[in-house]
Amino acid sequence: RIKVLWDPVIVTTVDMTERRPDMVVFFKETKKIVIVEQTCPWESRLNLALWEKRNKYAMLLQDLMKQYQEWSVKQCTLVMGVMGSFEKDIYVKELSSLVINDEQMLDRLLANVQRATILGSVRVIKNHLAE
């Protein structure tokens, strides 16, 4: 029913360089494809990172729409700052394309992503200071 591809190289009808999103989810029953991109920029670059990621895969999105004309094709761009900040309205809107509409599930997911992001940043800092 659902097929998830991690770090795939997507076959396109047009030659393009940006063909490798973080994840692609195929919802077979509802004929929906979601390109998922994640990034953890510095806190002051959240909006710029969102814009960059959305534009990076715009051509791929268009190509998939042509290839899968019967399907709905969307992009889900998840941006969380290195210190765990995010804009909840944008995050919730993006996650809705993955059919995650339950408020409690969203809150748990956001808390887990935030925790993982902060722990990853701490790990990078510790490794950098250890050198």
The structural domains of the chain, with segments of one domain joined by +, span 2-130
pLDDT at residue 39, rounded to an integer? 92
The per-residue pLDDT for range 43-81, each reduced to its tens digit, is: 999 999 999 999 999 999 999 999 999 999 999 999 999
pLDDT at residue 91, rounded to an integer? 80
pTM score, whole prediction? 0.82
Q: Tell which wins on pLDDT, 94 or 29.
A: 29
pLDDT at residue 8, rounded to an integer? 93
Q: What separation in angstroms does the CA of 95 have from each of 17, 128, 130?
A: 26, 33, 37
d(CA 16, CA 98): 26
Pairing of strands 72-79, 32-39: parallel
Q: 3-class SS at 14?
A: coil
Q: What is the average pLDDT across 98-121?
A: 84
**DSSP 8-state class, residue 113:** H
The per-residue pLDDT for range 22-42, each reduced to its tens digit, is: 999 999 999 999 999 999 999
Query: What percent of the chain has pLDDT above 70?
Result: 98
Is residue 101 predicted with pLDDT exceeding 80? no
Is the CB of residue 25 less than 8 Å from the CB of residue 3? Answer: yes
